[in-house]
Amino acid sequence: MLFISSSSASLHRPRRLAGLFTWLLTGTLLLGAASCATLPRPRGVGMGAAFAVGTCVNVGKLQANAAYRTTIEREFSSVTAETDMKMDVIQPRLNTFEWTKADALVRFARQHRQRVHGHALVWHGSTPKWVEQFPGDTAAWDGLLRQHIQTTVGHFKKQVKAWDVVNEALEGDGSLSHTVWYNHLGPSYVARAFRYARQAAPQALLFYNDWDIEGEGAKLNGALALLARLKAQGIRVDGVGFQLHTSVGASVGTVSAAMQKVAALGYLVHLSEVDVELNRQGQLGAATQPPAEALAQQRQFVRDLVAAYRQLPPARQYGITFWGVSDGDTWLRGFKHHPEWPLLFDEQYQPKPAYEGFREGVAAPVVAR
Ligand code: XIL
């Protein structure tokens, strides 16, 4: 009924105004908190966190394994394709683009109101064979780079608002690796990649992503120098992805110092591929179960890591993404050829002590710096 007496209408006005005020305030805080307009609804392990908590996702497994799927729906607010947005999957042949799997992931994320973090436009580790054998001159290579980036970013423009543009460009000493892109385009391939991605999605958040840059050593310095060179050329990079393939023996204090340094320069910080090894040297032999003591160490490491992440300025906290859901899903078992238990869930998709560690880290007090 539209017959509202003037007295009841005015009674409702203050509440409506208060509601509007709260809405504006919340919106402003959220925008400030992650500089990413739509922070997805926190859930599961990320409940109470002011940043997105994610996992990488394998689309085949998502379709085939119900426990995997329901854990992702329940626990994570952000997803990254483990392989299905990489060049060898997206463009298996020159000018042939395959979107089926990546589209399925994007649909899943939309259905569950999760953020999709795009990974990765340029990575020598996923360059298809035909690219390695591509015969063209510099102009043709530049065209190849541009076309792959712009077609991919353009295809997902509506739903993927953040991308790892260049992945793992650096050697341990901080110099640029001589990858296939470097060999054909020289060091400028990095700047070209960011420029092409920016042209295709001017509002997107663009990241440089790498491993072992949390050590505060030559590699981090190389990354900072690379970012400074890009900035001097007028190229905007929004964030840095610390992959953080790490182990319980690592120092959270060192990781924290590296993150703080990057945040102080104005970049978003994404812990983009976290796994915390218990068996880095294979010292646990052929164990079939992780020792309780190692699981407790992992819990503490994760707790301290999350607490340290929350010490970053809120506007720099883009999110924490694990590189897999359960220990049975980890890429490390295949990569390292020995047992490993680096994630938050066990093979049965039950939360491990590290899961509790994450929750404790989210609840830890933020100390004024
Ligand atoms: C890995 C995937 O987990 C594997 O399934 C795949 O076979 C190879 O790539 N750094 C990255 C990720 O940026 O894309 C890699 O993912 C792991 C290392």
Q: Which two tokens stand for residue 305?
A: 């890591």
Quick one: pLDDT at residue 73? 98
**Atom 12, ligand 1: which residue's CA is nearest?**
82
Ligand 1 pocket, CB under 6 A: 82-83, 120, 167, 243, 273, 331
Answer positive or negative: Cα dihedral of 23, 26, 28, 31: negative
Answer positive or negative: Cα dihedral of 10, 12, 15, 19: negative
Using one digit for the tens of pLDDT, what is the confidence trace for 148-174? 999 999 999 999 999 999 999 999 999
Comparing CA positions, the residue from 57, 50, 270 lying closest to residue 167 is 270
Q: Which two tokens stand for residue 308?
A: 């340290």
Quick one: pLDDT at residue 286? 85
Index of the ligand 1 atom closest to the CA of residue 211: 10
**Atom 15, ligand 1: which residue's CA is nearest?**
82
Low-confidence ranges of the chain (pLDDT < 50): 1-37
What is the Å distance from ligand 1's center to 241 Cα? 14
Quick one: pLDDT at residue 38? 62
CA distance 53 to 296: 21
Written as one string, the DSSP assignment of 289-318 is S--HHHHHHHHHHHHHHHHHHTTS-GGGEE
Ligand 1 pocket mutation, candidates 117, 177, 211, 273, criterion most atoms within 8 A of CB: 273
pTM of this prediction exceeds 0.95: no
Quick one: pLDDT at residue 39? 81
Q: Which two tokens stand for residue 287?
A: 């164990």
**Atom 13, ligand 1: which residue's CA is nearest?**
167
Q: Which two tokens stand for residue 214?
A: 């949390």
What is the Å distance from ligand 1's center to 3 Cα? 62
Quick one: pLDDT at residue 367? 82
Q: Cα–Cα distances in Å, from 88 out to 10, 14, 127, 134, 162?
A: 62, 57, 6, 14, 20
Answer positive or negative: Cα dihedral of 142, 145, 151, 155: negative
